[in-house]
Structure formats: structure tokens, C-alpha cells
Amino acid sequence: MKISLIIPSRNNLKYLKWCYDAIRKHQGDHEVQICIADDASTDGTWGWCVQTMEKDLKFQAIRNKGPERQGLVILNDRLINEVARHDICMVYHADMYLMPGALDQIEHKLKEKTIVSLTRIEPSLHPPGPEKMLFDCGLEPEDFEEQKLLEWFKEKQLHQLTKVTEGIFAPWAFYKKDFQEIGGHDPLFAPQSKEDSDIFNRFQLNGIKFIQTWGGCVYHLTCRGSRFNTFSGGAPGKNSDEWIGTTTTNMKKFIKKWGTPVLHDEFMKPIITPVYKKSFNITNSNTQLEEALDIWQNGGTDIIVEIDGNNFTNDDFNYIQNLNAIVKDSGELGEFELGNIKIIINSLETYEKELIKCE
């Protein structure tokens, strides 16, 4: 298999080196192009990239000189569209260690109109979940217990070579043409945060099937390039102020676009409700209420909600947050009251498929 690994990075040099060594060590007989985007780093990343390109012809790098970062949304797409040589690509992170046999699993399971995610093995910085395995072999490259991990995984892999579930998260492998068919990432979410949830929704609406292979894995130090990035003031288990700001802003954008927060099942498969054209008529309003409600409407008149600010409660706000599902379940035109709000359904036309492609 020929595959291009897509890795934007900002001030992650020690992780990049660790990540690069593992890829080359465990790539097997596959032809692997490593594509790096240096996002205005100040830690020597670009110098290392230049040196590595001189000795490794299957390593290519581009650079955002900055000083402002461009982020994952822009640089992932640049690497996929401008740098990747192969039809198969994988969005990858610098804080991931490629396990033996992982690319074999991608080769066996990936086909057109599918995306294959490798299972993450992580130290217990996050709560456990059914979509990953917890096994602590270090939080930093200098503390990494490689032999301990490899010995544990050799036994584990034997029992889960054929296990698959549905779900999607990094690292995810795909055919480039399936990515380009929907226009890649939505620049609305630049520089980063919620861009992955948005594109996963759009993939699913476009008929892509998700496969998570449990026989192919990465050891994941978790979030070193974003929320736990020390350059941005984060630390293992500590969110940076920068990440808090971008994720808060982009969740609002996500809600405005899709009408719900990010939704997925226990294995991280997206849950997408119908998208309606909605607007609110508010009497006795105030600035705080208008700001809280604005992201839940998109200016349409198919669904109109009448709200009185004098008696609007937390229960009423919960109805607003679940309005897409409430309208879907109603299944008919007309009007009805829930709590202190009145919902008027003029049309049940849905618009989620109009969101699939970014021009």
C-alpha cells in the first residue's frame, strides 16, 4: 500500500521526532510518505524538517512562516491537496506512536467510501471509553516505555485482529477523492476545534462508512498539539487558555450550522439530527437572553418559536437545545406548546444535505 500521512505541527518538535521514528520503524513493506506542515513554530521544527527532507526522499514539509498560526483546518487541507502524492491519506498527530501491523490493517479494511480509524492506546489522562484502550507507558517521549508497550500489545493484538466497530477519530485513513468530494474541512472552523466533528458529519451524510480496527493501533500521548500544548500554556491534563477560547468559539459555530452540539454514540460515530430553518420571536427580551439563544436559530421561517423572556426557564432552554429532535418527532405541521414556549411548524423540509460540501 502507498499512503501519505498528514501531520500539521506547531512547536511539537520532540513529539515529531518520536512520531517519525515510530512510523519508519513500524511501516512494514508499505510505501509511506510523511507530510509535515510547520505552523509558525519557534522550537527548531523547520530546521529539523529541512534536514530530514535531505536524507529521506519520502518526507515532505511545508511551512507557515507566521507569526500567526494557520491551524489544522488550513494545513491539513494544504497537505492533502498540495503535498500528498498517494491516493490514500491518513490524518495523523505528532503525539502518536504507530504500532506494528497498523498499516496492514488499513490496507485490509480500507476501500472507497470508507474511512478506517486506528484504535488509540492511551495513558489515563481522560476518562475510559469503549472506543479506546487504557495502558500507561508514559506521558512524554523521554518517559516512553516502548518495550513494555510492545510486549503487552503483541498479546493483545492476537485477540482483536478481526474486531471492528463503527466510529471515527484521529488517526483516520481515507481515499483522497472522498475527502475532496466534500470540499475538505470547513474554513469556518479555522484555526482548529470542531473541524473534525463537522467533517465527520459531512462524510456520513455523503455515504461514507466508518470502520475502527482494533488490530491496528497507535499509542497516543493525547492532545499535545492542542489543548495540552505546553507552548500555549497547557500541560498533560491541563487545558491551555488558547484551546479553551477556540473550542468555545467553534462550538457556537457548530451549533449555528448544525442546530445541535457535537453528538456521537459511545464508539464516536456521529449522530446527526435533521437541520431545519428556524427563527425565534422573543418578547420581553434582554441582551443576555438574545445572546444565549442566537446560536440556536438560523433565520429561517419553517420553524418559528415564540418566547416570552419574562417566563423563560432552564427547562424551556433545554427544549430549544433539542428542537431539531422535537420537530422531527412531531412529524406534522401545526403548532403546540412545550413549557412556556410555543412551537409553530410551517414546513418539515430539512437542509442537512446542503451542508455536505464546502466550496
178 and 89 in a single domain? The answer is yes
Give the separation between CA 154 and CA 147, rounded to whole angstroms: 11
More confident position, 44 or 162: 44
Strand blocks (E) in 261-329:
278-283, 303-308
pTM for the predicted model, two decimal places: 0.95
Q: How confident is the model at residue 233 (pLDDT cuts 50, 70, 90)?
A: confident
Q: DSSP alpha helices (H): ranges in the chain?
A: 13-26, 45-55, 72-78, 102-109, 146-158, 176-181, 195-205, 241-258, 287-294, 314-321, 323-330
Q: Cα 174 from chain centroid?
A: 14
Of 199, 222, 245, which residue constitutes the final position of a domain? 222
- Give the integer Cα–Cα distance in Å for 242 and 78: 23
* Residue 125 reports pLDDT greater than 90: no
Amino acid at 132: K
Q: Which of 20, 192, 166 is nearest to 92 (CA)?
A: 20
Q: Tell me the mean pLDDT in the region 118-135.
A: 92
| 307: its cell numbers | 418566547
Looking at residue 230, its pLDDT comes to 75
Q: Into how many domains does the chain fold? A: 2
Q: Is residue 273 part of a domain?
A: no
| 8-17, 88-97, 233-242, 335-344: least confident range | 233-242
Instruction: Taking residues 330-338, report their average pLDDT.
Output: 95
pLDDT at 95 over 80: yes
pLDDT of residue 68: 93
Contacts of 21 (CB under 8 A, 6+ apart): none
The answer to whether residue 110 sits within a structural domain is yes
Residues 184 and 305 in one domain: no
Helix (H) or strand (E) holding 109: helix 102-109
Residue 255: name the closest of 199, 206, 294, 304 by CA.
294
Strands (E), 177-257: 209-220
> For all residues of the chain together, what is the average pLDDT?
95
The answer on pLDDT for 161 being more than 90 is no
145 against 222, higher pLDDT: 145
* pLDDT value for 239: 79
Domain containing 291 equals 278-355
> Could you tell me if residue 15 is inside a domain?
yes
CATH assignment at residue 10: 3.90.550.10
Q: 296 and 210, same structural domain? A: no
Residue 261 CB coordination number (10 Å): 12
Residue 263, domain member (yes or no)? no
309 and 218 within one domain: no
Of 193, 222, 251, which residue sits at a domain end?
222
Q: Which three cell numbers stand for residue 338?
A: 412545550
Kindly state whether residue 249 falls inside one of the protein's structural domains: no
- Residue 168 and residue 285 share a domain: no
Q: Using pLDDT thresholds of 50, 70 and 90, give the confidence band for residue 61.
A: very high
pLDDT of amino acid 180: 98
Beta carbons of 226 and 93 less than 8 angstroms apart: no
Mean pLDDT of 51-66: 97
User: At which of 204, 222, 240 does a domain end?
Assistant: 222
On whether both 177 and 282 belong to a single domain, the answer is no
> How far apart (Å, rounded) are the C-alpha atoms in residues 203 and 291?
31
Predicted confidence at residue 243, as pLDDT, reads 84
Let me know whether 215 and 296 are in one domain: no
Task: With H, G, I as helix, E, B as strand and everything else as coil, classify residue 146.
Answer: helix
Confidence of residue 29 (pLDDT cuts 50, 70, 90): very high
pLDDT band (50, 70, 90) for residue 165: very high
| Three-state DSSP state, 115 | strand
The answer, yes or no, to whether residue 237 has pLDDT greater than 80, is no
**Are 300 and 217 in the same domain?**
no
Residue percentage of the chain with pLDDT more than 90 = 90
Query: Taking Cα atoms as reference points, which of 4, 9, 3, 354 lies closest to residue 186?
Result: 354
Say if residue 212 is in the same domain as residue 308. no
pLDDT surpasses 80 at 201? yes
Phi first, then psi, for residue 181 (nearest 5°) are -60, -30
The answer to whether 16 touches 48, Cβ cutoff 8 Å, is yes
Burial class from Cβ neighbours inside 10 Å (0-12, 13-18, 19+) for residue 177 reads exposed
Clarify whether residues 192 and 287 are in a common domain.
no
**39, part of any domain:** yes
242 located within any domain:
no
**Out of 18-32, 39-53, 212-226, 305-319, least confident range:** 212-226
For residue 99, pLDDT over 80 is answered with yes
Mean pLDDT of 50-74: 97
Instruction: Please list the residues that pair with 219 across neighbouring strands.
Output: 97, 121
Q: 30 pLDDT band (50/70/90 cuts)?
A: very high
Query: Is the residue at 114 inside a domain?
Result: yes
**Does 168 lie in the same domain as 48?**
yes
Name the strand (E) or helix (H) holding 120: strand 114-122
Residue 58 phi, psi dihedral angles, 5° rounding: -105, 25
User: Is there a single domain that holds both residue 22 and residue 169?
Assistant: yes
What is the average per-residue pLDDT within 77-95?
98
Higher pLDDT, 237 or 148: 148
Query: For 209, left (φ over 0), alpha (ψ -120 to 50), or beta?
Result: beta
